[in-house]
Structure 1
Amino acid sequence: MSYRDLFKFSETMRSLGFHRQIPIDSFHNSNFSLMAQVLIWLSLRFEPESTLLYDIETPDQRVYFIRTIAEFFALKANVKLNVKKLYQADRNAIGELLKITDLLNDALRSKITYNNKKEISKFDTNLYSKNNELKKQRELAVEITIKGSQLYQSLEEETELRPIREKCLNAFLDIGDMEQSLKSLIEKTKNKTEETKNLIKNITSTKENLDTKIAKRREDLDRNLKRLNTLKQVRPAFLEEFEDLESELRILYQEYILRQRCINYLENQQEQAAHIELMRMKEQQELAKNKIKNNKLDDEFKILDEDNEHNLLPEKVPGSSNESINKDHGMFSRLTDSETDSDLMLDDEDSNLLASDADLSTSKAEKSGSVQSDSDN
């Protein structure tokens, strides 16, 4: 063990707060008592409630002490110690002690840095750094869960693997089998080395081929770039005519779009005007039909009134029937003269309906006249 490691061990123990100063030359010779004190103190730093026996008078007690210390640190700190070096208690044991002291010193430093960061974070407003810390904490949490699941699986398998391992350790080793296995392993390693050498040779050959291909492609690229530059400089004869036609085509296309919009607008206006005219014609036809129905009702009421008068006055001046007929004819003539088909703008069905109504009224008038004449006679 070097002088540097001895100095580091003494300074680390002093920084951890060991109750006595450890000289650098204290482990030039075997010093089991000092080493036992250091180990007991370090175990108490890991677990203050630990109850390790400090009995190192006989060699058996020392062996038991070293064994318990190694088990303690393997379980509590996950640190594997070499029991042989610890039992020597000389300069070779410093390396094993440094494993424990470095772990405690790193924990102490991390605690100090954490406290400093905590104090600084009160005045720190950089959200980006906090976001990075949050990401790291999440990654650590995921890693801890993965490690925990792996540890759980390995502990489950330990019950099955422990007897197999103990059986293999306690089994008698055959020298011939060991030699045979070592020879087979040597042959496998030789084959793997030959394969790797062949791969390295192939890699060099492929690298040379790729270099030649890259050089050819670069030459082709330079040649094509030169050709492209020459083609850009040369202007075709039909290019000016093509540009003129293209500009003219743009103007014509704009005119075509404008005219098409105007045509669509005019067609829409024409459709709206036709629809309005159709609605007006329908309204006029409805008005004409209503007028015809009203006139028919008026004529029927007048005929009934005249019949009632004839019944009340049976004796009347001759020729009164003719006068009544003339009156009826005058009324119908007045109706036909005042309201014609051309004035009411009726279609063919309305005109036929009007004609049939007029015939019906004249037939009724003639019947009433004949009845009147019979009564006079």
Structure 2
Amino acid sequence: MARVLSYPRLISMENFRQPNFRLVAELMTWLVKQYDSQADIPNDIEGEHDRVIFIRTVAQIIATKAYMKLNTKKLYQADGYAVKEILKVITPLYKALRDSENRELDEDEDTDPQYRYAMNDDITTLKSARLLCSTITQKGANLHELLSKEVDAREARQDVMNRAMELSEVQEGIGEAENAAKVC
């Protein structure tokens, strides 16, 4: 699949019989650049700590750009298990390329109007799904923000509840509540 996507070198499973972190790093760097050409990826992979940072950075970029979660432990192993994780990233690119080639062939032929209607329906469904995902993300961010403010609000509530109130303040509050009830 990598060869079809114009990856510059030939890769086989034999390359991964023994752990081969350099090849995994090279391949993951190339794949990340396919998703985001401006991505900042660390080049130093000599030390264990550097490799961990590299894997984490790559996994984070893939998660944000391709919406895929990679198993960083398997990627770090740089063996046959890493190939499965790499295939998770390569497969959508391969399918997109294959589908675009099929579309070019299909555009040459006249498309049935019923098929066009089905495509439009699928596109509408896709747009609504993306909108829903965006809404869920936004509401999740709002919820996270509100929950982070809850600690301060809880402390303020506790302070108010623990404060001793004057009898005149309590009577005044009850009087205001009675007046408000009479108005309604």
What is the CA–CA distance in structure 1 between the aligned matches of 2:77 and 2:20, rounded to whole Å? 8
- Displacement of 1:163: 9.5
1:145 aligns with one of 124, 128, 131:
131
- TM-score, normalised by the number of residues in structure 2: 0.73
Q: Highest CA radius of gyration, 1 or 2?
A: 1
Unaligned runs of 5+ in 1: 1-11, 165-377
Instruction: Find out whether 1:13 has 2:35 as its counterpart.
Output: no
Unaligned runs of 5+ in 2: 151-184
Q: How does 1:215-234 map to 2 (within 5 A)?
A: none
1:37 aligns with one of 26, 43, 46:
26
Which residue in 1 is equivalent to 2:16?
A: 27
Q: What SS does structure 2 have at the residue aligned with 1:20?
A: coil
What is the CA–CA distance in structure 1 between the aligned matches of 2:63 and 2:28, rounded to whole Å? 13
Q: How does 1:120-135 map to 2 (within 5 A)?
A: 120=109, 123-124=110-111, 126-135=112-121
Q: What SS does structure 1 have at the residue aligned with 2:80?
A: coil
What is the CA–CA distance in structure 1 between the aligned matches of 2:149 and 2:100, rounded to whole Å? 42
Query: CA, structure 1 residues 159+114, in 2 after alignment: closer, same or farther (shift >3 Å)?
Result: farther
Query: CA, structure 1 residues 32+163, in 2 after alignment: closer, same or farther (shift >3 Å)?
Result: farther
Structure 1 ranges of 4+ moved more than 4 A: 160-164
- Displacement of 1:64: 0.9
RMSD: 2.1
Q: How does 1:227-242 map to 2 (within 5 A)?
A: none
Which residue in 2 is equivalent to 1:56?
A: 45
Q: Map Cα deviations across residues 242-288 of structure 1 (whole Å, 9 max, x no partner).
A: xxxxxxxxxxxxxxxxxxxxxxxxxxxxxxxxxxxxxxxxxxxxxxx
What is the CA–CA distance in structure 1 between the aligned matches of 2:53 and 2:21, rounded to whole Å? 13
Q: How does 1:244-263 map to 2 (within 5 A)?
A: none
Sequence identity, in percent? 29
Which residue in 2 is equivalent to 1:96?
A: 85
What amino acid is the match of 1:138?
T
Q: Map Cα deviations across residues 66-122 of structure 1 (whole Å, 9 max, x no partner).
A: 1111111111111111111111111111111111011211121222222222232xx
The structure richer in helix per residue is 1
Q: How does 1:282-361 map to 2 (within 5 A)?
A: none
What is the CA–CA distance in structure 2 between the aligned matches of 1:127 and 1:153, rounded to whole Å? 39
- Displacement of 1:55: 0.5
Q: How does 1:66-77 map to 2 (within 5 A)?
A: 66-77=55-66
Q: Which has the higher contact order (CA 8 A, sep 6+)?
A: 2
Query: CA, structure 1 residues 119+157, in 2 after alignment: closer, same or farther (shift >3 Å)?
Result: farther
Query: CA, structure 1 residues 139+81, in 2 after alignment: closer, same or farther (shift >3 Å)?
Result: closer
